Amino acid sequence: MELTRAEKISLVTGGGFWSTAAVERAAIPSVLIVDGPHGLRKQENGGDHLGLGESVPATCFPPAAGLASSFNVDLVERVGQALGDEARAENVAVLLGPGVNIKRSPLCGRNFEYFSEDPHVSGELGAAWVRGIQSRGVGASLKHFAANNQETNRMTVSAEVDERTLREIYFPAFETIVKREQPWTVMCSYNRVNGVFAAESRWLLTEVLRDEWGFEGLVVSDWGAVDDRIAALDAGLDLEMPGPQASSEKALFASADPQRLDESAARVVSLAGRASAQTEGYDAAAHHLLAREAATESIVLLRNENAVLPLRPEQSIAVIGEFARSPRFQGAGSSQVEATRVDSALEALAARAQVTFATGYGDVAGAVELARGCDAAVLFVGLPEGDESEGYDRKHLDLPATHLELIAAVAAANPRTVVVLTNGGVVSLEPWHDSVAAIVETWLLGQAGGGAIADVLLGTANPSGRLAETIPLRVQDNPSYLNFPGENDVVRYGEGVFVGYRYYESAAVPVRYPFGYGLSYTTFAYSDIEVDATGATVCVTNTGDRAGAEVVQLYVAAPAGPVRTPVRELRGFAKLHLEPGASAVVRIALDERSFSYWDLTTHAFQVAGGEYEVQVARNAHEVVLTATVARAASVTPGKLGLESRVSEWLSHPFTGPIFRRVAAGTSDGLVEGGTSVLDMVGSMPMRRLLRIPGVPVSEGQLTVLAAVANVPIVRGIARLFSRTR
């Protein structure tokens, strides 16, 4: 049935806070689109996107910061399936997640909702989430596209990012998920990217997303991201939310391009058509168990001196800190879930061990007395709710002063002090790190975190989480430090591709714990690496006496090429469960992109020719096995001309030797005080060199040489040579 212009306009502006508009005449239903990434937030009456209003009970899974530490693709997919089941049961068509923005700065207030500082991890885990939820007939909304890496002025700030950095760091998670999973929807971010609002960027929403990556779904605005509805429509934004918006409707009536309006309305119709029928309920108990499994795998054991953990059943344990009794298990803002139930670590520990409790913060004396009288002290500290949230960024990485005071006092009272951290974004472990026996990073664990913490502390679970983000020694060490959160509504991504460990490792800046780090109650050994351009195999052995899981990490180190690259970049990982003494051979795939950089001249990914080192590592800092693989350059070297630099003439396999021979024939070999004149003028365009009196070549000779060098077969040979350069 042909829709009227008014009907089409109503479709592209949203029917309510959380719903699309219906067109009853054409039997197009309204469908529900609700938050969020780690649980359903369906509000019955009205709505807000600040997490203020109440919502129906739903399972609160660990937010992405925790889930990412699991490095477990299969687990994240199962969480996605469970979210899909809950959405279906609540008649929700699209869930607003996953958030795959990169953790550019540890200060971003919303880091708890994002996976990692690494694009590969974000892409693989985000893809698993989308695969899971969409397998249940519920759509994902991949967000926030693009370069939304801070909360400060998120509605207006312009992220100034060069294209290589976008293509290599901020886009790949979106690209992987779009190409592999076809999310039903993509949500554009609030901010501007290089001056243009994401909602109005044709380059982002149409050229990159649709034309290059082949996105077939619908582009929805972040809630309230649209300023100019016509500019947004023209750019490729299909659905404005929330709706209805009288001013947008008026503008669309006046000047919407009919073809664009048709396309966007058709996408809303098709989304409504995809929505599956409501199901009856879901297994809340099973989902709680899954939330517990996910929480267990999210926990990262950072320090365990003298094997103080796991705690032994005969030990008396002082549990200190209100977080043990009243867990903070999710972050504030639009992702806030009304949990079906909440487990506390205190209850879970008390059920299985000899436990006494003190609230801690503000009662240091009581806590110290308790700690002194017990075999071990387990201290729950972290960030209070108001310290991190959607909508604003943090100013520092420190724990509250009262928590720091408590750590110092309890650590002095009991040498077997275990710190259990609750925080969505990274916190500083200084200056107290060395004073405690063990540190357990639990992030925000969702509603079943209490049991998971008890399992890890008591050893019924062997910790297997790894850091998906670096813990720096000082916030000042972070590469974005001087450029975060920007000024005058502009934030410059001056560190380029050197985000997180890419910077720390390249600049040899010491950190407290590197990306990828995490301990286990067992140990793993690596052997027998084999590598080719399509992947690596390696043998992993559990050398301890407990079953456990290892996250095998594969990094690639590129040779010197036309652009500066990080010393290593994660290109693959696999999580492997091994019984004590058992070995397994794991294969991790590599592809063309694993060896590529974004080339600004050709506007494409290219491979620099040379030897690549493929590294198996325990974390971004600790490489255990390496092998090399040679790759040919993917771009034919540019044509030589008088505008080419002297260095290009010198490095060209045809003209280089001729030049060197000419130089050798001169009386001084063109060497001045030990320095080669040719190398000194390497950056000079050849045309300028010719103007220097006494240069022993003429323009005519160079033109002839260039003509020969540019014959296709000679360029082909040059390309082969550039492979080992």
**Residues annotated catalytic, as ranges:** 222
Total site size for ligand BGC, rule CB under 6 A? 8
Nearer to ligand BGC (CB atom), residue 21 or residue 411: 21
Q: How far is the CB of 67 from ligand BGC (least distance, A)?
A: 16
Binding test (CB under 6 A) with ligand BGC, winner from 8, 103, 143, 571: 143
> CB of 100: closest distance to ligand BGC in angstroms?
12
| Nearest residue (CB) to ligand BGC, 36 versus 572 | 36
Residue 252 as a binder of ligand BGC (CB under 6 A): the answer is: no
> Which alpha helices (H) appear in 550-654, and where do they start and end?
646-651
Confirm or reject binding of residue 94 to ligand BGC (CB under 6 A): no
Give long-range contacts, CB 8 A cutoff, 24+ apart: 697-706: 697/662, 699/642, 702/642, 703/642, 705/640, 705/654, 705/655, 705/658, 706/639, 706/640, 706/641, 706/642, 706/644, 706/655
**Binding of ligand BGC by 223 (CB under 6 A):** yes
Taking CB under 6 A as the criterion, the residue among 3, 8, 11, 35 binding ligand BGC is 35
Name the minimum Å distance from CB 222 to ligand BGC.
5
Contact between 115 and ligand BGC by CB under 6 A: the answer reads: no
Q: Would the CA dihedral through 694, 699, 703, 706 be positive or negative?
A: positive
Order of strands, sheet of 623-631, starting from the edge strand that comes earlier in the sequence: 569-578, 548-557, 610-617, 623-631
Give min distance, CB of 687 to ligand BGC, in A: 53
30 vs 417: CA distance, rounded Å: 55
Q: Is 213 in the site for ligand BGC (CB under 6 A)?
A: no
Nearest approach, Cβ of 126 to ligand BGC (angstroms)?
14
Q: Taking CB under 6 A as the rule, does residue 124 contact ligand BGC? A: no
96 binds ligand BGC (CB under 6 A): yes
By CB under 6 A, name the one of 124, 222, 322, 388 that touches ligand BGC: 222
How far CA 114 is from CA of 121, 129, 329, 559, in Å, comes to: 11, 12, 15, 31
Reduce the DSSP state of residue 344 to 3 states and report it. coil
Cβ contact 226:236 at 8 Å: no
The answer to whether 294 touches 464, Cβ cutoff 8 Å, is no
* 237 or 376: CB nearest ligand BGC: 237
**By CB under 6 A, residue 361 contacts ligand BGC:** no
Question: Nearest-5° angle of CA 208, CA 214, CA 220?
Answer: 70
Which residues, 6+ apart, have CB-to-CB distance to 622 below 8 Å?
A: 514
Neighbours of 634 (CB within 10 A): 17
Provide, rounded to whole angstroms, the least separation between the CB of residue 189 and ligand BGC.
8
Nearest-approach distance from CB 33 to ligand BGC, in angstroms: 9
| Closer CB to ligand BGC, 50 or 342, in the complex | 50
| Smaller CB separation from ligand BGC, 50 or 539 | 50
Residue 520 sits in the site that holds ligand BGC (CB under 6 A): no
CA atoms of 416 and 321, how far apart (whole Å): 16
Nearer to ligand BGC, 296 or 334 (CB): 334
CA distance 478 to 460: 36
Told to check if 38 binds ligand BGC by CB under 6 A, we report no
- Measured from the CB atom, is 184 or 223 closer to ligand BGC? 223
Q: What is the rounded distance in angstroms from the CA atom of residue 337 to the CA atom of residue 38?
A: 8
CA distance linking residue 626 with residue 90, whole number of Å: 50
DSSP 2: P
* Chain residue at closest Cβ approach to ligand BGC: 49
Gap between the Cα atoms of 92 and 282, Å rounded: 13
**CA–CA dist 564, 338 (Å, integer):** 47
Q: Is 219 in the site for ligand BGC (CB under 6 A)?
A: no
Verify binding: residue 467, ligand BGC, rule CB under 6 A.
Answer: no
Site string for ligand BGC, 322-341 (x = CB under 6 A): ------------x-------
Q: Does position 505 bind ligand BGC by CB under 6 A?
A: no
Give residue 464's identity as a one-letter amino acid code: S
- What is the nearest approach in angstroms of ligand BGC to the Cβ of residue 199? 12
Residues making contact with ligand BGC (CB under 6 A): 35-36, 49, 96, 143, 222-223, 334
